[in-house]
Chain A
Amino acid sequence: EAEVAQSPRYKITEKSQAVAFWCDPISGHATLYWYRQILGQGPELLVQFQDESVVDDSQLPKDRFSAERLKGVDSTLKIQPAELGDSAMYLCASSRGLAGPGEQYFGPGTRLTVT
């Protein structure tokens, strides 16, 4: 069964350092999402791609976060510089398309700890 792949699974970094996460969606899924989930809260959408284009990045802290999906397949989320408050689970999800309701399939997530 196809799955969303993410790496690394765990990352510990010091504040002010740069960190990057990678996501490979299910083959054929045009829409890719990055979420941040702080312990005890629901996932918060950071950025949504349709193919290689950003559809929604209204909740992305653009002063330190960036995301790209250059060829419309895999994607990278970067934080520079990392802050203590960035400690969270970063989830990537994909779905078939943008139009109409549809379930998202989540990757295993990257647990980030900033010290």
Chain B
Amino acid sequence: EDKVVQSPLSLVVHEGDTVTLNCSYEVTNFRSLLWYKQEKKAPTFLFMLTSSGIEKKSGRLSSILDKKELFSILNITATQTGDSAIYLCATTGNQFYFGTGTSLTVIP
């Protein structure tokens, strides 16, 4: 059975900390892994990863995919309160699967 598992489920950090969010997957005919940020509204797209070992970077956020070990990480450096959100990873393959998300809370 295809699945996408994210960890941790929730995380509380102080501003300025660095966090690493994990996403592991087992999907049939894997094509890509996507990261989304969801605040109190619909998810917004962050990254799409298709190749192993190539880091995608946008400001303080970065992500990388390991297709051998079937996981991806999302790093956020120098966290800010505006980073507080649920971070979702999703995979495309035979179907589009979302993980349950990691709830990140950044406190001042």
Contacts and interface: CB of A to CB of B under 8 A. Distances in A.
Interface of A: 33, 35, 40-45, 48, 56, 58, 91, 93, 100-109
7 contacts: A35-B98, A42-B88, A45-B97, A93-B42, A100-B31, A101-B50, A106-B42
Interface string B28-71: 00011010000001111100101000000000000000000000
B96 A45 contact: yes
Contacts of B32: 101-102
Interface of B: 4, 31-32, 34, 41-45, 48, 50, 88, 90, 92, 95-101
Contact of B45 (A40, A58, A105): A105
Given A101-B50, A103-B45, A108-B42, 19 more contacts: A33-B96, A40-B100, A41-B101, A42-B98, A42-B99, A42-B100, A43-B43, A45-B96, A45-B97, A91-B42, A101-B48, A101-B92, A102-B92, A103-B34, A104-B45, A106-B42, A106-B44, A107-B42, A109-B41
